[in-house]
Each structure stands twice: as C-alpha cells, then as structure tokens.
Amino acid sequence: MQDAYWVFLVLALTLAAFVWGRFRYDLVAMAALLACVLLGVVPADEAFSGFGHPAIITVAAVLVLSRGFEHSGVVDWIAEKTLKAGSQPIWQLAVLTTTVILLSAVMNNVGALALLLPVAVRVAREHGTSPSLLLMPLAFGSLLGGLITLIGTPPNIIISAFRASQGEGAFRMFDFAPVGGGVALAGLAFMLLLGWRLTPRRQGQASADELFETSAYLSELTVGEESKAAGWTLRQLGEVCDEPVPVLGVVRNGEQLPGSRFFGTLQAGDIVLLEADPDDLKQLEDKGGLTIGAHDRDVDESKLPKLDTEDLQLVEAVVRTDSMMTQRTVTQLRLLDQHGLHLVAVSRDGTRLKQRLREVRFQPGDVLLLQGDENGLSDSLSALGCLPLASRKLSLGQPRQLLLSVVIFAVAIGAMMFDLLPAAIALSLAALVTLALGVLPLREGYDAIEGPVIVLLAAMLPVGTALETSGGAQMVADGMMALGSGWPPVATLVTLFAITLLLSNVINNAAAALLMAPIAASLASGLGVSLDPFLMAVAVSASCAFLTPIGHQSNTLVMGPGGYHFRDYWKLGLPLSLVVMLTAIPLILLIWPLS
C-alpha cells in the first residue's frame, strides 16, 4: 500500500495547487504526472500514454468540430435569431439560456458560451436589462447542456472511456440524455421561475457608457507654439511619462484623428486627447510643454467634434481563461508594438481598476477597454485570447459550408448511434473531412485544439489509473463504506455525488471526473451493485460546478462582464446544485438501477 500513500501525497499537493491557482492547471497536471513517474507509481513507458487515449482524441475532435460550426455560420444563424428575444428580461433569459443549453449539447460548452456572451451583452444593452441578470444563468446553462450527450463535456467522455476500461463497454452518444436532459430541464425551469431572482442586479456594470465612461477620464492637452512636443511623434510623447500613455486621438483643424492612425508629428495648435493620471499630466506639462485644455487661440472649442467612443475605435473585450495575457502585463505583451492596441482601462469584478496600467497583471474574466485599428481589431483580439463584447458582427458564412458542417456532424453522430464506429474514430473522421473540404481552415483547426485542456487530460489519466492500480481508490471506498456502515447503497451514491460536486467547484471538472471514477468503481464493487449508476453520478456531479467562479471556465468568463463577486455564485449556485441533485439521483436510479 506504500504506492497508494505516494499517490495520495501527490494528489493532495495537486489539489492544493489547483485551488491556489498560482500556476496553470496544465502545468500542475504535468508536474503531478512526472512526480508519479519519479516515485515509481506510474511506469515510465506509460507516462505519456494519455496523449493517445481515445478520450483525448475525442475531446480534440469535438473542439475542431465546434470551431467548424462557428466558422461555417451555424452558430451565427442561431445567434441572429436569439437577438430577437424581445424586451422582457424573462423572455431574454429563457431564449438565451435555452439556446446555450442546446448548443452545449453538441459542441464544447465554453465555446457555446463564448459565442452567445456577446449576444447576451448586446441584448441587455439594447433593452436596458442588467447584464448580471442574464450572464450567470447563461454560464450555468452551458454546463447543464453539456450533460445531455457524450460529447457535451469532457467528464462524459472520460466516464465513457473509463466504463470501457472496466470491460462494460463505452457509453454511447445519447446514453447520457435521459438523466442529463432531465437535469437540464429541471435546472432551466428553476432558473426561469425562481433562480433569476437570486442573481444580483448591477445596472451598468458591464456597460461601456457607465463602467468605461471615457469622457470622465480623458484629458485634452494643447500643443503650443513653443511646446517642446511640437515635432514629436505620439510614441515620443508617450515615452515622456513613466508609463507609455495611450493617445486616443489628435484634433487638428477641427478634425479628430484616431491615435491608432496618426503617424505624423505633432504641430502647434494640435489638441492631444489621452487618458492619464495627474502625475502623467504633470510630466507632459513639464517635459513636453503641453497645456491642459483646448487653449489655442485659433481653436474654437464650440466647433470641436464631440468625443465619441466609436470615433475613437474603442472596443470592450473579456480575457478568456486560455488567454496568453493571463498573469502578464502590458509591457510583457508589447500590446502596442506587436498587436497595435492601446490599453485604455481595465475592469475587474465590475469595478474599474485605479492602479497604473503598466502594473496590472491580467486575469481571466477581466474586461478591457482597448483602442486599435478597426480592420485589425478582430485578429488582434483573437491572437491575445480575448472575446469582444457586444460588438460581434454576425456573419452567416456560405450556405454551402453551413450545410456541409451540419451534414458532416450528422453522419458522424449516426455512425456512433448505430455502433458503426467508436466515438473517437467517428468524430476524428468528421474533423478531418471538415478541414479537407475547407469548411474550416487548417490553421484555425489547430488553433481550436486547446493545448492546456489536452495536456491536463492526458497528464491526469495515468495519475487516475495509478490511484486505482495502487489500491488508493479502494482505500477511499473502504473508508466511505466504513463511515457509512449500515447505510443503503442509495445513501452512498448521494454521498459520492455530493463529494464530486464539491470537488468540481475547486478543480477542473475533467480532473474531478478522472479522480472520482476509480473511487466510484471501487464503491460499486464493494457494495455488490451495478457500476453504471455510480459512474453516472460522477458524470453529472463533475459537470455541475455552480458554487464558485473558478470551478469552470464558463463561470470565470462571465465574472467580469457581469460584474459578479465571488459570493454571488453560491447564492444561485447552491439552490441550483440542490435541484440538480434532487433531480439526478431519482433519474439515475430509474434509468440505471443498482441491481
């Protein structure tokens, strides 16, 4: 049993690192794998076997197909219809949440949320609805939708593969639907009837007009006849300050020129529009000879163009969980030099940060106000791993591509349903055809495969196997049965469900499924009951991380735009978790009986 204790030690440190969040979860998972190899609990020749595991291939194929849906216009068509949800918040909530549930059933749930998040923010702004009313239910709906099918969420794929490793055969595409569909319907009904009352109302928290009230922070400085700044470029002007100051525009002869397109030198009489704190303004006055305000005698202030965020080409964007910006600063990213973007402001948890921009280390969920060339904004944001808010332009793509993507996916699902091909093969073929026919460019196909997710799953698979082969899973199961000696199997099933659900709120849901699946198998074996209800309990509970913003990427993604605080999640998430448990356990016992 010495190996089991080593595995427990590694897992304890791994869970602590996951909760701490200082290091990315893929790095933590890889460190756990290599530690197990060095301790001898995972054979060296099997250390990287996870990278070829069918579950990993399936997840990668689903990510490619999800991106194919987006590129072909399938999801844009759905989003266009969703924009017609009406002016009543309850109808907006119903349409948006139902849509994300359906999308999440057939594509990556984070991808589904990322596509509908800008739509939700746009709907909220157009109708004066608080974004915080819509975004948390939208995130939770993306988790509920993933429960319905094999490919809806990684835990389902992992549980299916684990069942196959136990000699029971893999779960098929819609084996999860009776339980997952019932839970999704119950969760949707709860959020529409009661849950929406438990979400915070933070009017304007995600509004560009209030959260980023640009006119309240912009300063006008005039270039005088004797100003040192006359003849300077904007770069030279910005370097005067301790931190490069983003120049948003230059007013010359009554015409406002965006800073991102001003490549000449400053002239006397120019008015420089920028955002700067008092220290920066003082340095610009002292070192550049600029004066605050439009004081040039030849400039009629009444004729100056009204400052408009559209003229300034400003865009809001949220930092995704997989963004390259995470834990990095503007200087490290070389935001202006490499991406042509000025950082104007940062909001975190619904509050505009007041610290110097160069000192901000970006976090997932941060909302950024950026300025850049309109033609290159989309590419720059995509490269950085940011999602634009409320300004997403729907492009329905080509009808031929749209039809092709649907047909390819339908054929793959049919092959899986009729047991013609295993899920990994069917979906990989679908992804290959999608790329070969040009429905999705090859480069975008590779970009769609999220490296951190793949590394996490591939690294944790051997660790989960070590938990089982070392006897550690059996030790945990024996402890649970001893603690609840005399309990009926149903009580043990409920306990397993609750433990997995709590675990999934502090670590990645895929990791939770990988760790709890061997324990579920040991419990079922020890109680002498069917394995299936215990595996289904793990699959459902691992995907229901409603209590914290860190339990799932979807929760993190809406935190900034919704202006949520950490404590807001459990107010809706706790009763929703209880609804899920009260719905799932009876359905599991009905569809997958213990005997």
pLDDT at residue 306 greater than cutoff 50: no
pLDDT of residue 74: 66
pLDDT at residue 225 greater than cutoff 90: no
Please tell me the distance from the alpha carbon of residue 461 to that of residue 325, in angstroms, as a whole number.
Answer: 28
pLDDT of residue 202: 63
pLDDT band at 540 (very low <50, low <70, confident <90, very high): very high
Residue 342 is encoded by which pair of tokens?
A: 């000025």
Mean pLDDT computed over 295-324: 59
Please tell me the distance from the alpha carbon of residue 186 to that of residue 584, in angstroms, as a whole number.
Answer: 9
pLDDT of residue 207: 45
Please tell me the distance from the alpha carbon of residue 363 to that of residue 293, in angstroms, as a whole number.
Answer: 35
Q: What is the residue-averaged pLDDT of the chain?
A: 83
pLDDT of residue 362: 92
Mean pLDDT computed over 57-64: 90
Higher-confidence position of 265 and 201: 265
pLDDT of residue 307: 45
pLDDT of residue 79: 66
pLDDT at residue 204 greater than cutoff 60: no
Please tell me the distance from the alpha carbon of residue 244 to that of residue 278, in angstroms, as a whole number.
Answer: 14
- In terms of average pLDDT, the best of 32-36, 118-122, 553-557 is 32-36
pLDDT at residue 571 greater than cutoff 60: yes
Residues of the chain above pLDDT 90, percent: 38
Long-range contacts of 25-30 (CB under 8 A, 24+ apart): 25/452, 25/456, 25/507, 25/508, 25/511, 26/451, 26/452, 26/453, 26/455, 26/456, 26/459, 29/455, 29/456, 29/459, 29/460, 29/463, 29/511, 30/455, 30/459
Higher-confidence position of 114 and 86: 114
pLDDT at residue 364 greater than cutoff 90: no
Residue 375 is encoded by which pair of tokens?
A: 């033609």
pLDDT of residue 228: 86
- In terms of average pLDDT, the best of 240-249, 262-271, 311-320 is 262-271
Mean pLDDT computed over 426-448: 91
Homologous superfamily in CATH for domain 214-303: Regulator of K+ conductance, C-terminal domain (3.30.70.1450)
In the chain, where does the domain assigned CATH 3.30.70.1450 lie?
214-303, 314-388
pLDDT at residue 299 greater than cutoff 50: no
pLDDT at residue 311 greater than cutoff 60: no
pLDDT of residue 231: 87
pLDDT of residue 171: 94
- Using alpha carbons, select from 582, 567, 578, 579 the residue that is nearest to residue 136: 567
pLDDT at residue 517 greater than cutoff 90: yes
Higher-confidence position of 35 and 300: 35
Query: What confidence tens digit (pLDDT) does each residue in 136-148 have?
Result: 999 999 999 999 9
pLDDT at residue 358 greater than cutoff 80: no
Mean pLDDT computed over 84-102: 87
Q: Which fold has domain 314-388?
A: Alpha-Beta Plaits (3.30.70)
Residues of the chain above pLDDT 70, percent: 87
Higher-confidence position of 303 and 417: 417
Asked whether the beta carbons of 271 and 251 are under 8 A apart, the reply is: yes
pLDDT of residue 244: 64
Residue labelled with tokens 């794998």: 33
pLDDT of residue 369: 82
pLDDT band at 343 (very low <50, low <70, confident <90, very high): confident
Q: By three-state DSSP, how is residue 250 classified?
A: strand
Under DSSP, the state recorded for 151 is T
Q: By three-state DSSP, how is residue 222 classified?
A: strand
